Structure 1
Amino acid sequence: MNIFNGRDKATILDAQVLEHLAGGPAEGELAIILIGDNEASEKYISIKKKYCDSRGIKCGIHRIDARLKDEDIFKKVIDVLSSPATAGAIIQLPLPRPSLDPCLRLIPAEKDIDAISPFSMEAFYAGRPHKVLPVIRALELFISETGKNPALTPLKAVVIGDGYLVGKPAAHYLKSKNYQVTVLNDYQTGQKIDADLLLLSAGIPDLVRGEDISAGCDVVDFGSSIKDGKTTGDLDQSSSLEHLGFVSMSPGGVGPLVVRYLIMNFLGI
């Protein structure tokens, strides 16, 4: 097993960010919109805010009470997004209820640094993205580290979880790179997995055990949830992992890269 250390790779991206900022400070504010209270979301936005603050990037957190009527929430979101001070914006997911999903449609393409609005997603699936999703940029880097090329040798990929943010776009990306992709939405612990690449994005702590994964398989864990007050991935790190190929754990694997690529999208890097 080879551990993919995202924090080490992140230092390379940090250097690119600093080099960019050496030419002048970022213009405008990165606005992070949080609707309601969510323990995991609070943690994620604090990481983004801390990163921006440490590099002199203006970042504002705009909290909106989820108890408000939907139309009042939409108005507050529009106020933030339409502000001349807002150069880029994130609407932190998950949203507290499905009726608020139209919020994502309110993000202008030029300010959608997470590339998650329906318009940005449509452009991504059509092969003409305005910005590449940070999770896809992180996945690209992970795959490049494995040294495996599906264009030369047929490779099987299994994606567990086809969520809007990670699983679905990741499966699309892998198919575009010639992987034979299987998406599992109802994976149960103990099911055997035969793949060259396993991508986890179910958000269920310790869902997959290493002993159930085929030998040599590369594993990238995008899963993230809070268990006993700690961030936990989908891969059971206490299980047998030595027979695997490259493994990106959560936390500490691709997570730091996603944060960097998000900021790099904001800066236009």
Structure 2
Amino acid sequence: MSTDRQTLLHAFDTLLQPERFRDYGPNGLQVEGRAPIHKLVSGVTACRALIDAAIEAGADAILVHHGLFWRGQDGTVTGWMKQRLARLLAHDINLFAYHLPLDAHPVLGNNAQLGARLGLEASGRFGEQDLGFFGHRAEGGAFADADALAGRLRDVLGRRVTQVGGTRAPIERIAWCSGGAQGYFEAAIAAGAQAFITGEISEPQAHLARECEVVFYACGHHATERYGAPALAAHVAREFGLAHEFIEIDNPA
């Protein structure tokens, strides 16, 4: 089965409502390719390795969280930008990208999908544009202590976790926001979190974690944002009967 480019774009936009967000770049169709869509590939970032893998997989469209165009770029098509665009255009492949809208979706988004894998149940939102999720362990009870939660993060994400602060007290109130959301830490503290999970940490957060006695976990930007794009793509692919493949391009960041 198949659909067409505009129908697919409408489905993504209807689910994610990008017009609601102030973002760092354009959401939606970033590169126009062929009109008929039979196979959809999803990935985290529109890097050259993902584009090459999608070409090999016979994709008509690619859906990513991190697209090609961002506020502040100089607008030239040279170097790595030329190489990525040249491949997409030569093979007539559509590129769809959704940044903050994909973080925020209550079921298919990065934060919702990350929480589900960690066994967390959201009970509220916090931070700018309500991107942060706040909640507790879905199965009831609490994590025994900060190290127990760190172990859960390592097991699920399959990578080393940077933990700042620690407590032997049970951890019940957990805030999380995927990617580079270290700037949401103060809002998480104000919301009453005992622990905050995100992808990256900057210098100020280490001091805040120790002074406010709220544990900070930096788990990797890529690692915390691996789940939204394939969840969204699989959902829409089922709706239209499309073939779908998630292609993982590893990134240690």
Whether TM-score is above 0.5 comes out as no
TM band (smaller chain): 0.3 to 0.5
Which TM-score applies when normalising by structure 2? 0.34
